[in-house]
């Protein structure tokens, strides 16, 4: 019985360690992750985790450099961009409640923004199915989707102040 408990504990400990290392978790998320450069040879380079910066500072530039081998880090960065966008939408929605002018233009701009948000999310979910050969094309698609959301945010902001 004692061997079974010890074995179970060791297996659980290794499983937890593998789970944490597979997702780039660190004890405090302040230590950098080591990543293997494209081609899989050479020494590992140190890349700061995407999630250390405040959410409002998350940017496309933080994740556009990630390779197919770094798709886990890319996905985490994209999630942060989506969270940033959700925060922007929340702020804009709160401003609408205080608007004194006709909200038709704002409503139209917000529909465009929500459509752009849905497209970004669907493009991001397609990353799970992307092959190494199509990685760059899919990243470009996501970049265009992200830019579309930010353009739409600008239009909603403009309609809030007009």
Q: pLDDT digit string (tens) for 126-158?
A: 988 899 999 999 999 999 999 999 999 999 999
Predicted pLDDT of residue 101? 81
pLDDT band at 103 (very low <50, low <70, confident <90, very high): confident
Residues facing 47 on adjacent strands = 33
Task: Determine whether 47 is exposed, middle or buried from the number of CB atoms within 10 Å of its CB (0-12, 13-18, 19+).
Answer: middle
- pLDDT (0 to 100) of residue 55: 61
Measuring CA to CA, which residue among 114, 84, 79 is closest to residue 96?
114
Q: Is the confidence at residue 46, as pLDDT, over 50?
A: no
* Inter-helix orientation angle 71-96/104-125, to 10°: 170
Phi-psi region of 101 (alpha: psi -120 to 50; beta: other; left: phi over 0): beta
Q: Report domain extents, the chain.
A: 53-161
| pTM recorded for the entire structure | 0.65
Is residue 66 within 8 A of residue 55, CB to CB? The reply is: no
């Amino acid at each position: 019985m004692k061997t079974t408990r010890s074995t179970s504990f060791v297996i659980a400990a290794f499983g937890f360690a593998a789970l944490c290392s597979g997702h780039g978790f660190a004890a405090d998320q302040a230590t950098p992750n080591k990543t293997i450069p494209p081609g899989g040879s050479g020494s590992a380079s140190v890349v700061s985790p995407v999630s250390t910066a405040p959410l409002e500072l998350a940017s496309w530039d933080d994740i556009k450099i990630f390779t197919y081998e770094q798709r886990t880090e890319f996905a985490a960065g994209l999630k942060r961009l989506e969270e940033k966008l959700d925060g922007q939408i929340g702020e804009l929605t709160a401003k609408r409640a205080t608007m004194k002018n006709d909200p038709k233009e704002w409503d139209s701009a917000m529909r465009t923004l929500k459509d752009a948000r849905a497209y970004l999310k669907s493009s991001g979910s397609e990353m799970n199915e992307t092959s190494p050969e199509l990685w760059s094309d899919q990243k470009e698609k996501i970049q265009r989707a992200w830019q579309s959301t930010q353009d739409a945010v600008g239009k909603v902001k403009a309609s809030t102040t007009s």
